[in-house]
A and B are shown apart, each in its own frame.
Chain A
Amino acid sequence: MLGNMVDWVKLGSDVKGTMLSKILILILAASIFASIAYRPITVEAQLPLPQGIPRGDVLVIENHYGTHADPENFNYLVPGRPGFGASGFSQVCAGFLWYINTTNSELISWLAAGPPEYSSDLKNMKVYLRKGITWSDGTQFTADDVVHHIQMIMRTKGMAGNPIFTRWVDRVYKLDDYTVVFELKEPNPRFHYFLTVIIYGSSYQAITPKHIWEKVDDPLKFKFYPPLCLGPYILKAVDPGGNWFLWERNENWWGTRLYGMRPAPKYVLFIHHGPEDKKALAMSRHELDAIRTFLPENFEIVWKNNPYIGGWRAKSPFAWPFDPCVKGIAFNVLRYPYNVTEVRLALTHAINFKPIYEAFKGLDGSLPTVSPLPVVRTTLADELYYKPILQDLVKLGLDPDIMWWKYDPKMAESLLTRVGFTKGPDGKWRLPTGEKWVIRITAPSGFEMESQRIGFLVADQWRAFGIDVVVETVESGVFSPRWSRGEFEVGTFWPGCSLLADLTPHIQWWHSKYFDPAAPSVGWANYSFPRKTEVNSIVDEMEKTPPGDPRLYEHARKALLIWAEQRPWAGFFPTPFYTINDNYVWTNWPSYPGNYYMDPVYWWAQMLFIILQLKPAGNVPTKEASMPGKPPVLPPEIPRPLTPTPSPTTPMQPISTVTVTAMRTIVTSTPIPVTVITTAQVRELDVTTTVLIGVALLIVGIGIGYILFRFLRRS
């Protein structure tokens, strides 16, 4: 072959029809130009959809986990299985008893007919289920499913949720097909939190179908594929490569039949595009409707190229300021010298908070929510926790103007010298032993880049104060075990998160009874200081107090003040989350303050409530998209016993058991007006850019042709 090619090259000058080759080159160049000129900016061109499905029927959400190694495994009860909220399972397929509304901490009863009922000794919890709910195969959802689900988890060691339910549940059984009773081993007024979607959602909270799982020999090996759903969608297709999951609307969904709810998108596609830059490109091209978060640089790309975006607000500033986890600097309080309170306080007061705050101000004006306590300073938290103890915090060193700890290098110096630290002739701080003090900050790399940036910013400040600082950035695989095992001095991560007004589940780990020597982490649970016993007592009290009881807030304030005195970590703020949505294809996203029905939590299970309220925007063709049905507000349907009417002739029998005797559930079956928006498929021509590119390519094509022609002639 090579020999033939050599002959061809050498004898090229004998090739007749040089005019033909010129014509061929011109045709090639013209073809390139023509294909570029007719460049449709349709938005459905690049998505993995069945033939004939228009973009307007599909809601496209980011698969934030990435490529799933085994995408056909929907058994999220296997511990450590990632992607629960990334494949769409938790948002559109799973069924949960309760959710928390992130905007106001209210309990939403979903599969449950109402809030749980606790016995007076808080050792029994009764759950009423809604009637008429069906699985996607038409089987009735009943108490049998809930009981089987809990019992299966309890008997399968290693299953997600097993440690929780085996610790708390003595027995679980049904009273009837729609009533489940949990008998607890110890009083727990908030046991139902373990079955409530609060932050993100846990896999063991998604009830499994008994009629499927009871036939399984080893629940850990069962793939549950395709999954059966209680949600409004069923699985249509899965990418064998693990990048996308396509869900199709269930036209027989119980939510439609019983309550008139109906999601507008016919399909929901959870897709992974690759690195964040590509997601930004996808959103710029309207190929992505919702994303968990962007780094500010990538947000800028979308902001400049897509005028239809929204976020926490419909217009800038877009960032969600209330991510539940306060980022900052955490000290390992079990390691010297960070186990010395004065050292931690000194390091805090050596930080000039303002430049760090400014560094996280977004181009769109988004500002972080300053949260010096381990509670995100939402409006509610401000009323419950910050304002009532503000004066005490000021006495502890809080600057009320910036709502963070005072920048006071002199105070920091005096605190350090008090405990034996000295400054050498080189201006660097030395430990009481005389050796130079070097702080090692462990920061994440490749993930949580905001926390990494905090690390570098703080390091600069401490260096200016006179301390040598080394920032070590490590990948998640290394960071997680180091963080967990307490193999760090100072770390930039968050020791805890908070969302509920009831802080008990968020701070109970502060109690020394929960300290795990195998995983000490920041060590706060085992840190010994004079008021430690008081913290333990406060947590004990909070655990016994039911949610909603005002005493809880007083207990929490006391605990927070003790925390502030000790300051085991210096939280700055939840870094602004650019949870962006695109209004080009779908509209009616939640936005503060005008349409604030949910926070923009697209990767949490609460995304269901957003999907159920989206509307087609009318900018792209649709076929089976519709207007949404009724809002997802379900009435409580807890059965009440009938009051017996006394008969004049028959003495009234005393009621010895409370049973469900009558329940009126008003179900309205209203035909859903389906508005099919028919717009002609418009292929837009971006004339200017296309012409310029076409001309450039034409010139290049002619140039290549000319060069080849000359080459052949010389040969």
Chain B
Amino acid sequence: MTSFLRYLVIRVFYFFLTIFTAFSITYLLLRLMPVNAVENAIAQITAQGQVYDPQALITLRRQLYELFGLTGSPTDQYLRFLRSVFSLDFGPSIMAFPTPVMELIHRALPWTIGLLLFSVIISWVVGNILGILSAIREGSWVSRILQGVAVTLHPLPYYVFALALIFLFAYLIPLFPLTGSSVYIERISIDVIIGIIRNATLPALSIIIVSALGWWFLSSRTLTIRILGEDYVEYAILRGIPWRRIYRDYISRNIMMPQITALGLALGTVFSGAVITEALFAYPGLGILLFRAVSTGDFSTALGIVSLSIYGVAIGTLILDIIYPLIDPRVRHR
């Protein structure tokens, strides 16, 4: 128990250290970017050719710097930033001034979680099942076909696959809408729910198919094949232990360890969204919000979203670190 407590304390310490380091690096990177929110705002006016008094433009520039809070020394801004990441209050956004950053994130978050959470979990489940079955039937037609598909899909950028899905199922055979949020919601009803699912299907499929038949399939298949070749498995087979028990007690637990670790890390990155998927499908999630925030110089919003991602990954890792000793006796013994 004492050793477990010690283990826990160390893990929690590393958790806070990771968070602090990640936030600081993020802050520095964003601040070093040559993007300026005020110039972007003024460019919106001038690039369209709008008639604007030149003297007034000079005044507007000064006013915007004050309005957006882009004043103060770098140290002041850094301390303000640290306060905000721990209080989760990032102030007003700049690109949607003065809407608070957290309001923008709350608006985009359900879309991202709804898409990515389910996509990641489904692709994990499907990929692992197919990988294990393929390993069991090593050499069969099905296994070979699945391998071929996986090896082909794995290096394929998911957005290329997404474009193919759009062309096939939103244009040629219009089973799905072209826009990612093409649902008219007057009140929640079965039709609306079906509409939301329809809207999310193509973006989800583009992620699921490539992930499931890509990384998850290949990794679980490889692990299963390796474990099937282990002495203890061979001994269990020779002893006549039923296959069900072999897979449950000897193989699956050894496969699931690394796969659950990878799942935990993948779930943590859900909060950063999937920029290209969201851009392609006009899906209003955190990814596209982050992209806009960075390109318009809205540091507050960008920091808010990245902070969520940092928290997600760090907390996911911490949880995994805590449950590992409970699952893996080797870790417990160490």
Compute how far the CA of A520 lies from the CA of B277 in the bound complex, rounded to whole angstroms. 39
Q: Does A48 sit at the interface, judged by CB under 8 A?
A: yes
Interface residues of B in 33-92 (CB under 8 A from A): 33-45, 47-64, 66-67
Q: Does B292 reach chain A (CB closer than 8 Å)? A: yes
- Chain B residues with CB under 8 Å of A481's CB are 34-36, 39-40, 297
How many whole Å from B41's CB to the nearest CB in chain A?
A: 3
- Chain A residues with Cβ under 8 A from B243's Cβ? 6-7, 10
With both beta carbons as reference points, the residue of chain B lying nearest to A7 in the complex is identified as B244
A-B contact pairs, 24 of them (CB 8 A): A2-B132, A3-B245, A5-B133, A6-B247, A46-B170, A46-B176, A50-B184, A68-B96, A69-B99, A70-B93, A80-B37, A80-B38, A167-B56, A202-B52, A220-B97, A278-B170, A278-B280, A278-B282, A282-B178, A284-B171, A498-B49, A518-B62, A525-B54, A707-B141
B136 within 8 A of partner (CB): yes
Q: Is B167 an interface residue (CB 8 A)?
A: yes
* B140 cross-chain contacts in A, Cβ below 8 A: 711, 714
Asked whether B56 lies within 8 Å of A164 as measured between CB atoms, the reply is yes
A205 to B51, CA, bound (A): 11
The digit string for B292-328, where 1 denotes a CB below 8 A from any CB of A, is 1011110001000000000000000000000000000
Q: In chain A, what residue has the closest Cβ to B94? A: A80
Which residues of B are found within 8 Å of A200, using beta-carbon distances? 48-50
Query: How far is it, in angstroms, between the C-alpha of A243 and the C-alpha of B283 when the chains are bound?
Result: 8
| B122 interface contact, C-beta 8 A | no
Q: Which A residues contact B (CB, under 8 angstroms)? A: 2-7, 9-10, 36, 39, 45-51, 66-70, 73, 78-82, 157-158, 162-164, 166-168, 193-194, 198-202, 220-221, 237, 239-244, 246, 271-275, 277-278, 281-282, 284-285, 287, 324-325, 475-478, 480-485, 496-500, 505-506, 508-509, 511, 513-514, 516, 518-519, 525, 689, 693, 707-708, 710-711, 714-715
SS class of chain B's interface: helix, strand, loop or mixed?
Answer: helix
* CB interface residues, B 175-220, toward A, < 8 Å: 176-186, 191
For the complex, what is the distance from the CA of A273 to the CA of B41, rounded to whole Å? 24
B103 contacts which of A70, A80, A240, A525 (Cβ < 8 Å)?
A70
CA distance A496 to B45 in the complex (A): 12
Known contacts A6-B136, A70-B104, A514 near B50 by CB under 8 Å: no
A10–B140 alpha-carbon span in the complex (Å):
13
Given contacts A168-B53, A477-B40, contact A78 B98 (CB under 8 A): yes
A204 to chain B, nearest CB (A): 10
Question: Taking the complex as formed, is B31 at the interface, i.e. its CB lies under 8 A from any CB of chain A?
Answer: no
The closest CB in chain A to the CB of B184 belongs to A48
Note all chain B residues with C-beta closer than 8 A to A167. Answer: 53, 55-56, 59
- The answer to whether B99 and A243 have CB atoms under 8 Å apart is no
Selected contact of A285 from candidates B33, B36, B95, B171, CB within 8 Å: B171
Task: Give the distance to chain A from B253, nearest Cβ to Cβ, in Å.
Answer: 11
Given A9-B137, A46-B182, A241-B180: A519 in contact with B61 (beta carbons within 8 A): yes
Q: Is B281 an interface residue (CB 8 A)?
A: yes
Complex partner residue of A80 from B97, B141, B170, B179, CB under 8 angstroms: B97
**For residue B64, which residues in chain A have a CB less than 8 angstroms away from its CB?**
79-80, 158
What's the least CB distance linking B140 to chain A, in Å?
6
Q: Which of A39, A221, A281, A693 has the most CB of B within 10 A?
A: A281
With both beta carbons as reference points, the residue of chain A lying nearest to B295 in the complex is identified as A477
| Cross-chain contact A82 with B95 (CB below 8 angstroms) | yes
Which of A5, A80, A163, A476 is within 8 Å of B59, CB to CB? A163
A49 to B51, CA, bound (A): 36
Task: Collect the chain B residues with CB atoms within 8 Å of residue A500's CB.
Answer: 51
- Which one of A2, A48, A79, A511 lies within 8 Å of B247 (CB-CB)? A2
